[in-house]
Amino acid sequence: MMEKEEKRAHKRFLRTLEVKYSTVKGLISDWTMNISKGGMFISTRDPLPEGTNLILKLKVPNSNEEIVLEGEVVWRVKPEESRGTLIPGMGLRFKNIDEEAIKKIERIINEQEG
């Protein structure tokens, strides 16, 4: 019998980064709470349903550069569910991420760590 598979493949880092994505409601601009090489958590009062695929544009700090990523909503916390330490938002897993995008994310993580 398998234990709960909640172990993350990548360490998460607390980062507040601007992220933009399109929904049926239009272009949305929100903020990440954390990020890893495998995904991110976006703070939003209107999280999208699990299984939703998005094209994300992540703003690189101190630059005009954006990283374009594909992501899938894998879990969410609706505003009515956010009690105590839970923040409304959605957890995304990156899909089809290339080596160049991973290197850019690593650079953002490492720059802000120091």
Gap between the Cα atoms of 75 and 40, Å rounded? 11
Gap between the Cα atoms of 56 and 76, Å rounded? 17
Smallest CA-to-CA distance from 106 within 21, 58, 35, 41 is with: 35
DSSP β-bridge partners for residue 88:
none
The sign one gets for the Cα dihedral 98, 46, 32, 93 is negative
**Lookup: tokens for 5:** 């598979």
**Lookup: tokens for 37:** 């090489």
Give, as one character, the DSSP assignment of residue 99: H
- How many beta carbons lie within 10 A of that of residue 79, not counting itself? 13
The domain defined by 13-113 folds into Thrombin, subunit H (2.40.10)
Render pLDDT for 26-71 as a digit per residue (tens, 0 to 9): 999 999 999 999 999 999 999 999 999 999 999 988 888 999 999 9
pLDDT number for residue 52: 96
Lowest mean pLDDT among 5-19, 40-54, 92-106: 5-19
Higher pLDDT, 8 or 35: 35
